[in-house]
Structure 1
C-alpha cells in the first residue's frame, strides 16, 4: 500500500512538471491587438479615470436626492429639581420632574433660486465629462502601446544587424591575424580589425539594452509583473510602398468632432455656465416647507406613559422664507468667479484644439518625411550592401586595407539602421493619422 502511495505521489509530481514544461513551450506571443486589449482592462491610469467617473455618478445621485424631503427623529429624557417649567405641560411647578420628549420632523426645499435643479444638471454633465476622460485615457494608453510596440520591433531588428556585424568582424579578425602572421599586412591593419570587432560587440550590447528597456516600458503600460516574459509578434509584410499621407486639415476636422479631450473641454464650458446659474440663484429667496410630529410624558401627570403619549400628541407644519439682503459680498464673488471660470474653460478649449492640431501636424510632417526616407534609405541600404560585399572580396584578395573595409561596413550598418528607422517611423505616423480620423489601430 505504501509503495502504491509513493508511486502515485511521484506520478502526480511528474504530471505537474510536464504541464509546466508544456506551458513554457507554448509561451504566449503578444500581438499589438493583444497588448492594447490587455492594457485597456488592466492599466492603472484607466482604472483611476474610471474611479473618477464613479465618483461623479455618486455626486449626481446625491444631488437628485437633495430635492427630496429629509426625515429625522429625536428623543430626550430630562430630570429637573426645584422650581421649573414642566417641558410637556408648560406649567410652573416646584417638584422633581421626569420628562420624556419624542419627535419626528421633516423639511423640503420648495424653491432656492433653482440651485438644486442646476446642480443636478451640472453633475449630469460632469458624469459625461468623466466618461470622456476615461476614453481619453484609453486613447493615450493605446497610442503609447503602439509607439512602444514599434520601438521594440525596431530594436529587435537592430539587434540582428548588430549580431551580423559582430560575426562578420570576428571573421575579419581571424583573417587579419592569419595575414599578420604571414606578413602580408601591417600591425595597424590587424588592430583596426580588433577595434572594429570590439566596437561591434559594444553596439550589440547597446542594442540589447535598448530592447530590454523598451520591453520594460511596455510591461509597465500593460501592468505586467516584471518577472513575466514578454515576447511580441513581428509585423507580417507591412505595406510600406504606396502609402498615401492624408490631408492634414481633413484629419484635423475629423479629429475635432470625435476626440474625447475636445468634447470634454467643450463640456467644461457648459459645466461652468451651470456654475454661473447656481451662483445667480444665491440672489433669490429660499422657500422651505417644514413639518413635525411630537409627543411626551411628564411625571407631574398621573396618566400612564401610553395615555400621555396619546394626549400630548402634537403636529406642526410651516413655511420658511429666507430673503438674502446682504451676504457680505459672497453671492457677488461667486457670480464673478463663475464668469471667470467660463472664460478660463473657453481658453482651455482653444488650448486643447491647438495641441491637437500640433500633434496632427507633427504626425503629418513626420509621415511625409518618413515616406521619402523609406524610398531613399532602401536604395542606400541596397547600394551599401553591394559595396560592402565588393569590399569583402577585395579584402580577401589583399586589394583593400582593413581601414577601408571597416569604413564600408560602417556605411552599410548606418544605411540598414536608417532604413529600419524610416520604416517604423512611417508605420507609426501613418497609424497615428488613421487613428485621429477614427480608424482602429491594427497592424
Structure 2
C-alpha cells in the first residue's frame, strides 16, 4: 500500500508540474528586449563589472598611499638578574617589570615619484576596464543578435517542413488511391511513403534545431530553464539596402567608436607609466617619521604607574633617507620587463586593429554577397514554386511519376532553404555594419 501511495503521489506531482508549466503564458520578446535583458543579467557582463570594481578599488588604494600611516604598540616584560632597565636605561641587578606604550607614524615624502605614477597608472587601468566592460557588452549584444536570427530562421524552417509534410501526406493518400485503382505501381506508392517519412524526419530536426537555439538564447539572457518565451517575428519588409559607405570608411568609423581601440591605447599608456614606476627604483626615498611613547618600570618605586606614564611621555620626529646602491639588479629587471610590456601593448593594439578590419571587411563582403544571393534565391524560389505546382497538377492527372514529383518538391524545398539562409545572413551582416559604425541594432 505504501509503495502504491508513493507512486500515485509521484505521478500526481508530475502531472501538476506539467499543468503549471503549460499554464505559464508565453512572453513575446523583441530583439531590443533581449539585448537589454542580457546586458543587465548576463554573467559574463557581471564578471566584467566586478573586474572593473576591483580596478576601482586598486585606484583608491593607490591614492591612499599618499597618506601617513599610524600604528599603536604596547608591550610588557619581566626580567631577572643583570639587565638594562628599558625605561630608564640604567644598569640594574634586580627583578624588573616594565610596560611600553607608543604611537608611530610615517609618511613618504619622495620615492622616485613612484606613488604619483602608480596612481596615474591605476587611473588608466580603471578607464581601460570601463572600455573592456563595454567590449564585453558589445560581444554579448552580437551573440544575442546572431542567436535571435538563428531562432527566426529555424521557425521559418519549421513552417516549410510542416507544409512539405502536409503535401507529401496528401500525395501518399493520392498514391494509395491510384495504387488501388491500378494506375501506378507499388514502387511509386512506396516512393511517396518514403518522401513523407523523410519530410517528417526533416520536421523533427527543424523543431529540435529551434529548441537548441532557444536554449542558447535563454542562457544568454540568464533565464530559468522552465521560462517559456516566444520570439517576435520580423516585419514583412526584409529588404535592407546596402550601406553607402565602403569598407574602408566603415573601418575608420569602427576605430573611433569601438571600445577595443580605446582599451588598447590605455593599455599602452599604463605600460609606459609602468616604466616610470620601475625607473623610480633608481632614486632615493625620503620619509618623515614621528612617534609618541611612554612607559613604566618597577625599579622606580617612588612613582605610581600613572605618574610614570605621565613622567616618561616623549615625542620624536625625524627624517629617513634611503639611497639605493645595489639591490641585486631588481630595478634593472623591472625596467626591462616594463620595456617588454610596452612592446606587447603596442603589438596587442596592432592585432586589435587587424581584427576589427577583418570583422568589418568580412561583414561588408558578406553583405554584398548575401544581397546578391537573396535576389537570385528569391527568383529561383518563385520559379521552383511554379514548377512544383505544375508537377502536382500533372501528378494528379497521372501524367507524372512519383519520383519526378519528389524531385520537383525537393528542388522547391532547397530553393526555400537557400532563400531563408540568404535572407537572415543578409540581415545579420547589415546589422553588423550598422553596429560597427556606432549605430544601435534594431529590427
TM-score tier (shorter):
over 0.9
**Counterpart position of 2:72:** 73
Cα offset, 1:139, TM superposition: 0.3
**C-alpha distance in 2, partners of 1:408/1:310?**
109
Q: 8 Å contact 1:245–1:430 — kept in the other structure?
A: no
Aligned partner of 1:263 in structure 2 is: 262
CA deviation vs aligned residue, 1:141-185 (integer Å, no higher than 9, x gap): 000000000000000000000000001001101111111111101
Distance 1:217 1:313 in 2: 72
Deviation (angstroms), 1:417: 0.8
| 2:365 equivalent to 1:386 | no
Cα distance in 1 for partners of 2:431, 2:271 equals 36
Whether the 8 Å contact between 2:240 and 2:427 is mirrored in structure 1 is no
Deviation of the 1:317 alpha carbon: 1.0
Counterparts of 1:359 and 1:210, CA distance in 2 = 27
Residue 99 of structure 1 contacts residue 296 of structure 1 at CA under 8 Å; is this kept in 2? yes
Compute the displacement of 1:396 (Å): 0.4
Return the alpha-carbon distance in structure 2 between the equivalents of residues 124 and 66 of structure 1. 14
CA–CA separation in structure 2 for the residues paired with 1:319 and 1:73 = 20
Match runs of 1:20-39 below 5 Å: 24=23, 26-39=25-38
Cα offset, 1:244, TM superposition: 3.9
* Corresponding residue number in structure 1 for 2:227: 228
Q: Give the secondary-structure state (helix, strand or coil) at the position aligned to 2:71.
A: strand
Q: Does 1:426 align with 2:426?
A: yes
Deviation string for 1:410-429 (max 9, x for gaps)? Answer: 00001111111111111110
1:96 maps to 95
Contact kept in structure 1, 2:367 and 2:430, CA below 8 Å: yes
Alignment of 1:264-413 (within 5 A): 264-301=263-300, 302-413=302-413
Deviation at 1:37, TM superposition (A): 0.5
The structure 1 segments of at least 4 consecutive aligned residues displaced by more than 4 Å after TM superposition are: 23-26
| 303-312 or 30-39, which deviates more | 303-312
CA contact under 8 A between 1:245 and 1:367: conserved in structure 2? no
Q: How does 1:123-134 map to 2 (within 5 A)?
A: 123-134=122-133
Is the CA contact (8 Å cut-off) linking 2:374 and 2:422 kept in structure 1? Answer: yes
C-alpha displacement at 1:81, in angstroms? 1.1
SS at 1:369 equivalent = helix
* Between 49-58 and 220-229, the greater mean CA deviation after superposition: 220-229
**8 A contact 1:373–1:422 mirrored in 2:** yes
Which structure 2 segments of 5+ residues have no match? 1-15
C-alpha distance in 1, partners of 2:252/2:323?
A: 50
Q: Do 2:112 and 2:280's aligned partners in 1 also have CA atoms closer than 8 Å? A: yes
Q: Within 1, Cα distance between the matches of 2:229 and 2:348?
A: 40
**Aligned partners of 1:25 and 1:279: how far apart in 2?**
62
Q: Please report how far the alpha carbon of residue 255 of structure 1 lies from its aligned counterpart in structure 2 after TM superposition.
A: 0.5
Distance 2:264 2:223 in 1: 32
SS of 1:282's equivalent in the other structure is helix
Where does residue 11 of structure 1 map in the other structure?
none
Partners of 2:241 and 2:333 in 1: CA distance:
61
Instruction: State the match for 2:144 in structure 1.
Output: 145
Which residue in 2 is equivalent to 1:58? 57
Distance 1:230 1:238 in 2: 24
Q: Report the count of equivalent residues.
A: 425
1:229-261 alpha-carbon deviations (Å, 9 max, x no partner): 121100112331544463111110000011111
Q: Distance in 2 between matches of 1:241 and 1:231?
A: 24
TM-score by length of 1: 0.94
Mapped partners of 1:243, 1:46: distance in 2: 32
1:47-96 deviation digits (Å, cap 9, x = unpaired): 00000000001101111111110001111111111121111001111111
Output the CA distance in 2 between the equivalents of 1:75 and 1:38.
56
TM-score with structure 2 setting the length: 0.94
> Matches of 1:212 and 1:278 in 2, distance apart?
55
Query: CA RMSD of the aligned region, Å?
Result: 1.5
Q: Determine the structure 1 residue equivalent to 2:9.
A: none
In the alignment, what sits opposite 2:13? none
Kept after mapping to 1: 8 A contact 2:68/2:107: yes
- Distance in 2 (CA, whole Å) between partners of 1:33 and 1:146 is 9
| Matched-pair contact (CA < 8 Å) for 1:49–1:134 | yes
Q: Residue 115 of structure 2 corresponds to which residue in structure 1?
A: 116
